[in-house]
């Protein structure tokens, strides 16, 4: 693999210089027509002869012991074919606590741990019968004290949710069960000394509320278990191989007997990386001996799938008057819902990753509370940490009379910087995104009355993972690809583009589909911004293997040595002496003759695409806040991010815009509201408000292309970083529009109005 | 012969090495490193089973255990990163 060289100056690296024919163009998306005409099949569109309707009975209590579940009346109801409880999901996890946690989240065992926790499920001939059956299930609960706030859960007076959780990672081994499942710290240098050296010390506390990914398509699956033990499942997911593996473990099946086919996906953003109701559908089908379709309602999606953590973060920054940061400290407290997690630790790793710091320390406390198990949400944990840190950066810059953007440029991490989470950076893109922001026309545009501008940076790791791809040449000389990573953000187009680029054919000759779990080796999920990065790499290698086959077939046809065959521009060409009269053989020619030269022509590659390279972005937000109501509107928004090489710029821009919009919703409106009874109060889109088009301006984007040396084309993952800066950029803009530092996300109108009134009262 | 490396531990692993931020290990690959860590510091084994990422000169490896550990490399153990 070779890449074009680029400048070693991290503030001004060269752009990708390689000339591509297909990569970088804006080809038509292969799923576009089907999606706009309603032909595309999503999770709930699957059906099977004789299928039953599955419904789930959920706990109305935030924390309760399950004393007894009486299902007799439900089972006797005509039309009911199966009723299951945890008894029907025995523990096959063989001591794997993390898998047991997944099982317990799918179906409560001894205790209901949050409002909405599944306690039983039914399969019936129709939805009405299933609903009647749910009403006939009698659950006897013993209600226990609950805690839903992350800081409250850490108090010694808080009810202990699990007696098997002892805090991991503390210097002394924990002797008592705790709601803090993990403690971790990162950093280097001497923060106390750094604070002593500072001219100004900024110290602030921040809170962010729990949000949901808000994907439009609810979870849905159709499960069919045969009496011979073989099973099939059709499901919307970000990772059908992982769903296959985990469901097989929980159901006691061999993985090869469970074939999972993924549907089109109506959004996931991390929420469809976990299994939720799928094991229940399989268990119902197994018991009923009929296919069972289980589709969540929107209320269920909110109450019992995986929102993000709510957080509480303290930040301290020490700064000299010349803009040098002498010390940086943060303590981050995140909850994982009712199950152990490492979300706070991720926040601790990412919090100060944009900056070059001599003295830095982050401490993380991961906490369990009586809320649904949290899941990843696009660059998980980083947006909340960036919200706190970037606000402290903004406040520190203003305290020393320095432009906040110049302050960030002065302290930006660069090649050779020891990162706040440990390793030394190679070439990175934070400097270029900041410089692009400084030079962007947006920064020079005038602001109106009650308007403010905010700038913020963000970091995300990115990763690769296990991936395999088949490339097959059809008998007519076209190309099909079988990929195992779910196409969430356009990877089918990008993968087809990579194969076309390698083969030297046009994009319309190549088509990629998502293979089911019995047709390819294991593929990791589409998460961590890995889909296009890792799958395109596997596809490139698979195509190169296919080209080797093609050259061999040409050599056989010409009866010459394979070393005398070159693949160029979609055809085999003879090279060397004595072959001058041989006309090139096209892909079509070779495909037509494949039966006489060795059979079908194909290429396969399996890789572990490690070493994806870290990602940075800088956002600029203009906000207008009504001082009478506290309502804030986004007036202008710009995303600047490094894509390595943008394979399909429209998809990259879409990722940047989508992340920004989700972050804007998180910043201004979205919030899980729990009552004192520990029940979720707003499990519907009417009460949980995500931004719609009329709330937003066009989101402007600027793609920087700083090649990733660890990908054949220089590609970098782009799906997640764009959600990291918006909470900070928007909150800084509101701070500037109101004159009051905003420290609590979301900045809903009542919360902003109160902050203005409180400031006036001081 | 395996080279000796300084291995930087993140906070959650330090209690298993008496609080030390770094330990010295002779290993040629990530696989050998994990094997030795499991033998010498049994408390680390559950973490390694759950997934530990290894940063080698700033490049993060999550899965490729055949990756060599070059002489003089900066090596950090990090929690395995999940994504959304």
CB pairs under 8 A between A and B: 114
CB-nearest to B10 from A375, A422, A425 is A422
Q: Chain A neighbours among B 35-54 (CB < 8 Å)? A: 50
A572 in a structural domain: yes
CB-nearest to A426 from B58, B78, B83 is B58
**pLDDT, tens digit (0-9, with 9 covering 90-100), for A665-703:** 999 999 999 999 999 999 999 999 999 999 999 999 999
| pLDDT exceeds 70 at position A9 | no
| pLDDT exceeds 90 at position A3 | no
A9 or A586: which leads in pLDDT: A586
Where do the structural domains in chain B lie, given as residue ranges?
A: 4-79
Residues contacting residue A544 through CB under 8 Å, at least 6 positions apart: A502, A603, A605
A109 in a structural domain: no
| pLDDT exceeds 60 at position A2 | no
**pLDDT, tens digit (0-9, with 9 covering 90-100), for A712-732:** 999 999 999 999 999 999 999
What's the confidence (pLDDT) of residue A610? Answer: 87
Q: Residue A313 corresponds to which tokens in the numbers above?
A: 């973060």
**pLDDT, tens digit (0-9, with 9 covering 90-100), for B38-72:** 999 999 998 898 889 999 998 899 989 999 999 99
Q: Are A235 and A262 in contact (CB under 8 A)?
A: yes
A90 three-class SS: coil
What's the confidence (pLDDT) of residue A502? Answer: 97
A642 in a structural domain: no
| pLDDT exceeds 50 at position A8 | no
In Å, how far is A268's CA from the nearest CA of chain B? 8
CA A139 to mean position of chain CA atoms: 36
Residues contacting residue A350 through CB under 8 Å, at least 6 positions apart: A379, A381, A382, A385, A386, A421, A459, A460, A461, A724
| pLDDT exceeds 70 at position A12 | no
Mean pLDDT, residues A593-614 taken together:
95
Distances (CA, A) of A222 to A12, A75, A276, A277, A665: 52, 22, 13, 11, 32
What's the confidence (pLDDT) of residue B50? Answer: 85
CB-nearest to A611 from B10, B60, B81 is B60
Q: With an 8 Å Cβ cutoff, is B10 touching chain A?
A: yes
Asked if the Cβ–Cβ distance from B84 to A270 is below 8 Å, we say yes
Q: Tell me phi and psi for residue A29, to 5 degrees.
A: -75, 140
Q: With an 8 Å Cβ cutoff, is B19 touching chain A?
A: yes
**pLDDT, tens digit (0-9, with 9 covering 90-100), for A622-659:** 999 999 999 999 999 999 999 999 999 999 999 999 99
Cis amide bond preceding A751, omega within 30: no
Q: Residue A272 corresponds to which tokens in the numbers above?
A: 């469809």
In Å, how far is B31's CA from the nearest CA of chain A? 15
**What residues of A are in contact with residue B42 (Cβ under 8 Å)?**
none
Mean pLDDT, residues A526-543 taken together:
96
Q: Are A164 and A111 in contact (CB under 8 A)?
A: no
Asked if the Cβ–Cβ distance from B59 to A345 is below 8 Å, we say no
Q: With an 8 Å Cβ cutoff, is B22 touching chain A?
A: no
CB-nearest to B76 from A269, A423, A462 is A423
Which CATH number is A548's domain given?
3.30.365.10
Q: A251 pLDDT band (50/70/90 cuts)?
A: very high
Q: With an 8 Å Cβ cutoff, is B12 touching chain A?
A: yes
In Å, how far is B56's CA from the nearest CA of chain A? 8
**pLDDT, tens digit (0-9, with 9 covering 90-100), for A25-36:** 999 999 999 999
Asked if the Cβ–Cβ distance from B62 to A465 is below 8 Å, we say yes
Residues contacting residue A511 through CB under 8 Å, at least 6 positions apart: A30, A478, A479, A480, A481, A496
**Angle in degrees, CA A58, A62, A63, rounded to 5:** 105
**What residues of B are in contact with residue A379 (Cβ under 8 Å)?**
83-84
**pLDDT, tens digit (0-9, with 9 covering 90-100), for A444-476:** 999 999 999 999 999 999 999 999 999 999 999
CB-nearest to A424 from B61, B74, B84 is B74
CB-nearest to A171 from B15, B74, B78 is B15
| Tally of domains in chain A | 1
Q: What pairs with residue A123 in β-bridges?
A: A54, A82
Q: Tell me phi and psi for residue A487, to 5 degrees.
A: -85, 95
Mean pLDDT, residues A129-142 taken together:
98
Q: What pairs with residue B33 in β-bridges?
A: none
Q: A611 pLDDT band (50/70/90 cuts)?
A: confident
Distance (Å, whole) CA A222 – CA A336: 28
Q: With an 8 Å Cβ cutoff, is B26 touching chain A?
A: no
What's the confidence (pLDDT) of residue A305? Answer: 97
Searching chain A, which residue's CA lies closest to the CA of residue B46? A96
**pLDDT, tens digit (0-9, with 9 covering 90-100), for A417-427:** 999 999 999 88
Q: A17 pLDDT band (50/70/90 cuts)?
A: low
**What residues of A are in contact with residue B83 (Cβ under 8 Å)?**
270, 273, 376, 379-380, 461-463, 527-530, 720
Q: Are A363 and A331 in contact (CB under 8 A)?
A: yes
What's the confidence (pLDDT) of residue A580? Answer: 80
Residues contacting residue A163 through CB under 8 Å, at least 6 positions apart: A177
Domain that holds residue A519: 466-608
What's the confidence (pLDDT) of residue A16? Answer: 46
Mean pLDDT, residues A478-485 taken together:
98
- Look up the CATH number of domain B4-79: 3.10.20.30
**What residues of B are in contact with residue A169 (Cβ under 8 Å)?**
11-12, 14-15
In Å, how far is B76's CA from the nearest CA of chain A? 6
Q: What's the whole-number average pLDDT of chain A? A: 95
Asked if the Cβ–Cβ distance from B62 to A186 is below 8 Å, we say no
**What residues of B are in contact with residue A722 (Cβ under 8 Å)?**
none
Distances (CA, A) of A531 to A235, A260, A265, A499, A659: 18, 19, 14, 15, 16
What's the confidence (pLDDT) of residue B23? Answer: 96
Q: Residue B74 corresponds to which tokens in the numbers above?
A: 């900066």
- ipTM of the complex, rounded to two decimals: 0.92
What's the confidence (pLDDT) of residue A6? Answer: 38
Q: Residue B57 corresponds to which tokens in the numbers above?
A: 């000169």
């Amino acid at each position: 693999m070779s890449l074009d060289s680029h400048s070693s100056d991290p503030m001004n690296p060269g752009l990708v210089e390689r000339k591509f024919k297909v990569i970088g163009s804006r080809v038509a998306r292969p799923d576009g027509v089907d999606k706009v005409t309603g032909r595309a099949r999503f999770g709930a569109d699957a059906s099977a002869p004789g299928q039953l309707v599955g419904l789930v009975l959920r706990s109305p209590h935030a924390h309760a012991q399950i004393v007894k579940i009486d299902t007799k009346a439900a089972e006797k109801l005509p039309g009911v074919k199966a009723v299951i409880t945890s008894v029907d999901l025995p523990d096959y996890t063989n001591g794997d606590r993390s898998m047991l946690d997944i099982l317990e989240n799918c179906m409560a065992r001894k205790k209901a741990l949050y409002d909405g926790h599944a306690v039983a499920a039914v399969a019936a001939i129709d939805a009405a019968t299933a609903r009647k059956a749910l009403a006939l299930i009698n659950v006897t609960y013993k209600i226990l004290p609950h805690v839903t706030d992350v800081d409250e859960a850490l108090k010694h007076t808080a009810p202990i949710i699990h007696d098997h959780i002892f805090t991991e990672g503390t210097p002394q081994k924990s002797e008592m069960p705790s709601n803090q499942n993990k403690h971790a710290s990162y950093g280097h240098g001497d923060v106390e000394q750094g604070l002593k050296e500072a001219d100004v010390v900024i110290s602030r506390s921040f809170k962010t509320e729990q949000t949901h990914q808000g994907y439009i398509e609810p979870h849905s699956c159709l499960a069919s278990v045969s009496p011979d033990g073989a099973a099939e499942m059709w499901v919307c997911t970000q990772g059908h191989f992982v769903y296959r593996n985990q469901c097989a473990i929980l159901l006691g099946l061999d993985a090869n007997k469970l074939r999972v086919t993924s549907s089109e996906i109506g959004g996931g953003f991390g929420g469809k990386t976990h299994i939720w109701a799928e094991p229940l559908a399989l268990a119902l089908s197994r018991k009923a001996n009929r296919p069972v379709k289980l589709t969540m309602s929107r209320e269920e999606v909110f109450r019992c799938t995986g929102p993000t953590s709510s957080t509480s973060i303290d930040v301290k920054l020490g700064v000299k008057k010349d803009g040098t940061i002498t010390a940086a400290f943060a303590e981050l407290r995140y909850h994982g819902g009712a199950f152990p997690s490492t979300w706070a630790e991720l926040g601790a790793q990412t919090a100060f990753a944009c900056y070059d710091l001599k003295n830095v320390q982050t401490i993380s406390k991961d906490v369990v509370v009586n809320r649904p198990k949290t899941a990843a949400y696009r660059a998980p944990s980083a947006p909340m940490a960036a919200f706190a840190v970037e606000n402290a950066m903004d406040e520190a810059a203003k305290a020393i009379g320095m432009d906040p953007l110049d302050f960030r440029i002065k302290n930006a991490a660069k090649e050779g910087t020891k990162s706040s989470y440990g390793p030394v950076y190679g070439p990175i893109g934070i400097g270029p995104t900041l410089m692009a922001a400084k030079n962007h026309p947006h920064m020079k545009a005038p602001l109106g009355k009650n308007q403010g501008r905010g700038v913020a940076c963000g970091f995300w790791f990115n990763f690769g993972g296990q991936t395999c791809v088949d490339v097959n040449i059809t008998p007519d000389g076209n190309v099909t690809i079988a990929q195992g990573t779910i196409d969430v953000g356009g990877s089918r187009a990008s993968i087809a583009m990579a194969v076309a680029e390698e083969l030297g054919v046009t994009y319309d000759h190549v088509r990629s589909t998502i293979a089911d779990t019995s047709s390819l080796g294991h593929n990791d999920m589409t998460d961590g911004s890995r889909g296009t990065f890792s799958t395109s790499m596997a596809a490139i290698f698979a195509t190169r293997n296919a080209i080797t086959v093609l050259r061999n077939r040409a050599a056989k046809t010409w009866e010459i040595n394979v070393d005398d065959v070159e693949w160029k521009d979609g055809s085999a060409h003879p090279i060397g002496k004595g072959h001058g009269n041989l006309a090139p053989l096209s892909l079509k020619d070779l495909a037509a003759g494949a039966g006489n030269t060795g059979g079908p022509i194909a290429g396969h590659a399996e890789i572990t695409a490690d070493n994806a390279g870290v990602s940075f972005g800088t956002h600029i937000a203009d906000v207008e806040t009504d001082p009478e109501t506290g309502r804030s509107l986004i007036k202008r928004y710009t995303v600047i991010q490094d894509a390595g090489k943008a394979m399909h710029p429209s998809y990259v821009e879409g990722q940047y815009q989508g992340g920004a919009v989700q972050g804007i919703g998180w910043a201004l409106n979205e919030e899980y509201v729990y009552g004192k009874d520990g029940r979720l109060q707003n499990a519907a889109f009417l009460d949980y408000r995500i931004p719609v088009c009329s709330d937003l301006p066009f989101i402007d984007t600027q793609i920087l292309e700083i090649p990733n040396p660890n990908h054949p084309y220089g590609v970098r993952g782009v799906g997640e970083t764009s959600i990291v800066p918006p909470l900070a950029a928007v909150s800084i803009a509101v701070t500037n529009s109101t004159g009051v530092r905003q420290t609590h996300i979301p900045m809903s109108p009542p919360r902003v109005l109160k902050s203005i009134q409180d400031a006036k009262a001081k | 012969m395996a080279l000796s490396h300084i291995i930087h531990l993140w906070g959650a692993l330090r209690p298993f090495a008496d609080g030390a931020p770094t330990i010295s290990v002779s290993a040629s690959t990530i696989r050998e490193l994990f094997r030795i860590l499991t033998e010498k510091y049994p408390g680390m084994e559950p973490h390694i089973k759950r997934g530990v990422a290894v940063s080698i000169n700033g490049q993060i490896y999550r899965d490729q255990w055949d990756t060599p550990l070059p002489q003089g490399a900066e090596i950090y153990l990090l929690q395995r990163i999940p994504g959304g």
